[in-house]
Amino acid sequence: MKPGVLIVDDSLTVRMDLAEAFEIAGLRPVLCATAAEARAALSRGPVDVVILDVLLPDGDGVALLKEIRESASSRSTAVIMLSTEAEVKDRIRGLQTGADEYVGKPYETAFVVARAREFLRARRDSLDDRKRVLVIEDSATFRNELTDALDSAGYVTLTAVSGEEGLYKAADQRPDAIVVDGILPGIDGAIVIRRVRLDAALRGIPCLLLTASEDRNSELRALDAGADAFVWKEEGVALILARLAAVLRGAGSRKLGEEAVSLLGPKTILAVDDSPTYLQELAYALRGEEYDVILARSGEEAIELLAVQSVDCILLDLLMPGLGGEETCRRIKSAQIVREVPLIMLTALEDRSAMIQGLSAGADDYISKSSEFEVLKARVRAQMRRKQFEDENRHIREELLRKEMETAEARAARELAETRAALVDELERKNKELEAFSYSVSHDLRAPLRGIDGFSQILLRDYSEKLDAKGRSHLVRVRAAAQRMGELIDDLLQLSRIGRAELSRTRIDVSRIGHAVLTDLSTNEPDRKVECRVQDDLILDADGQLIKVALENLLGNAWKFTSKVAAAKIEFGAEQRSGGTVYFVRDNGAGFSMGHADKLFAPFQRLHGSAEFPGTGIGLATVHRIVDRHGGQIWAESTVGQGATFYLTISPGRLGGTS
């Protein structure tokens, strides 16, 4: 079925004109004179495009647009609004409400049809994103060769054997790119491109000119006609495909920025003046140059419009009621998105001070209203050319900057990687050193101690009668010191191993480990009577060996520090808190002062004298490191003489995972 176009306009002339044009273009027009008729038509079924007059006899076109945008069935329908130029407020409302295009009356029929087809094509393209390429070539051999290459490169190919046929197919099919031979029967390639460039609906299509001759002039002619690229046939089909891909990429990126699209589409000029007579004259003169002209009556209107529509050039009257030209200019030039748009100040005054006033407000140029329009048009052209140069230069600068940034980023990333690798190496080396160190400690520091202890013992045993009581007591202290040093070495080695060991998490029954540790403790000191309570079924994903070491230390401490309490109690359990499970070991022993709590977990820190409670001061540092390795936390609460509670958390980790 043909795509449907709903034309809503109270003017019979407009309806007939558009209906005829759309029918020729192969669409199915539905005509309505009022908003009510349009609603009835829409309720019968969706259409593909709506052409909507702003002023309808029974209501407001923008209100109807709002209904269309709010209805699920027509939300994505393309809407082109028609309006007379005076109503700039309607243009703003229309674009804000969601119009896809806003065309001023008197409209150009061909442009309206072209825009409508463009929207239809955009919808079709979203279904099939293969690029369609029109090949205009009279030689069947080369045409077939090129067509085959294009097909296998994933393009959809359309063909024409003459310039006339090509232009017809271009208008009818709206290809994504045109490849045209320079020499054709009838109109030649350069003329085809020139005509394409003159057609409002086609001028955005990238064109590639082919030629058989290596003639410098033909290239200039082609570029002059508006070709995007120029290829000699001798250079081969592969090069044509490469150039084609490049111009399509360019066209695609141009479409991303609306400002950039306007480089190829009709230029839009915003004219701001409080005199309707002058505005009409200006509009007439500029439309003759194929510019799209928007007329605003005041600075306020102009600023409001610029917020919703981008333009290519602004003509601004200096003397206006309200905001005035100077202030309007200043505001436009201070807005990020429009500051680059060329602004030409217009004034009736022919004096230097007005000129300086305008330029100091940020205007790019200045022209007297009394000048001929030809001069004004030339100035407009010059400003837009300047803008285009600047855009291109900026584009080149941005590209260079981007490349520089990329290079710098790549260098930074490489340096970072090198630094990291060096650090990892250094760390590994240090780890090896540390390992070698603790290995030596493990071997070499123990042996002399064994000598000290062993020979002291032999002295005590075999030469006891030759020593007095004091001598024997000294020897006992030598032995005690040697043994204590042995314990220190063992504990230190354990601490250092825990930092190096691979963490191997499995599901473990912590309750059972707790029971086992307490059983060991009471086996070693069967005379102690301690009430031990272990909460059942504490299951945890952690390194079982390390958790056992932690519990040996914590429960061992509890055991040790309750040794002077009559009814000793030790409890191991867990409680649920907002952050998760918190395990605790509680005793009613000696406790410690919270004032020293910060020293608890540092190695060699002891809060009790060795005479009172023996120990190396490494146990809690070891526990701390074990908890750390499990991504958990440890803290303690205590009151002197009331016992202590140690709390710890273990963060959930991957089973079997190492860190």
Closest distance of CB 481 from another protein, Å: 11
Closest distance of CB 466 from another protein, Å: 18
Closest distance of CB 638 from another protein, Å: 33
| DSSP class per residue in 464-515 | GGGS-HHHHHHHHHHHHHHHHHHHHHHHHHHHHHHHHSPP--EEEEHHHHHH
Tokens at residue 78, please?
Answer: 């393309």
Beta bridge partners, 531, equal 569
Closest distance of CB 570 from another protein, Å: 27
Which DSSP category does 443 fall into? Answer: I
| Phi (first) and psi of residue 232, to 5 degrees | -80, 140
HSE at residue 551, side-chain half, CA atoms within 13 A, is 27
Site for another protein in 197-216 (CB under 8 A): none
Contact between 529 and another protein by CB under 8 A: the answer reads no
As a whole number of angstroms, the distance between CA 340 and CA 357 comes to 19
Q: Residue 343 in 3-state DSSP? A: strand
- CA distances for 402 relative to 90, 249, 250, 340, 566, angstroms: 41, 18, 17, 21, 78
Size of the site for another protein (CB under 8 A): 22
Cβ distance to another protein smaller for residue 49 or 626: 626
Contact between 446 and another protein by CB under 8 A: the answer reads yes
Which DSSP category does 599 fall into? Answer: G
Cβ distance to another protein smaller for residue 252 or 454: 454
Contact between 443 and another protein by CB under 8 A: the answer reads yes
Contact between 326 and another protein by CB under 8 A: the answer reads no
Contact between 437 and another protein by CB under 8 A: the answer reads no
284, 389, 437, 455: residue in contact with another protein (rule CB under 8 A): 455
Cβ distance to another protein smaller for residue 352 or 461: 461
439, 506, 639, 657: residue in contact with another protein (rule CB under 8 A): 439
Contact between 454 and another protein by CB under 8 A: the answer reads yes
How far, in whole angstroms, is CA 159 from its chain's centroid? 42
456, 622, 638, 649: residue in contact with another protein (rule CB under 8 A): 456
48, 90, 453, 543: residue in contact with another protein (rule CB under 8 A): 453
368, 442, 535, 605: residue in contact with another protein (rule CB under 8 A): 442
Tokens at residue 338, please?
Answer: 């429009």
Stretch that binds another protein, among 160-168, 343-351, 482-490, 627-635 (CB under 8 A): 482-490
Cβ distance to another protein smaller for residue 183 or 501: 501
Site for another protein in 462-481 (CB under 8 A): 479
Closest distance of CB 430 from another protein, Å: 18
Site for another protein in 395-424 (CB under 8 A): none
The most distant pair of C-alpha atoms in the chain lies apart, rounded to whole Å, by: 138
Scanning 205-236, the segments in alpha helix (DSSP H) are 216-225
- CA distances for 91 relative to 38, 96, 97, 594, angstroms: 20, 8, 10, 75
Residues at the interface with another protein (CB under 8 A)? 439, 442-444, 446-451, 453-458, 479, 482-483, 485-486, 497
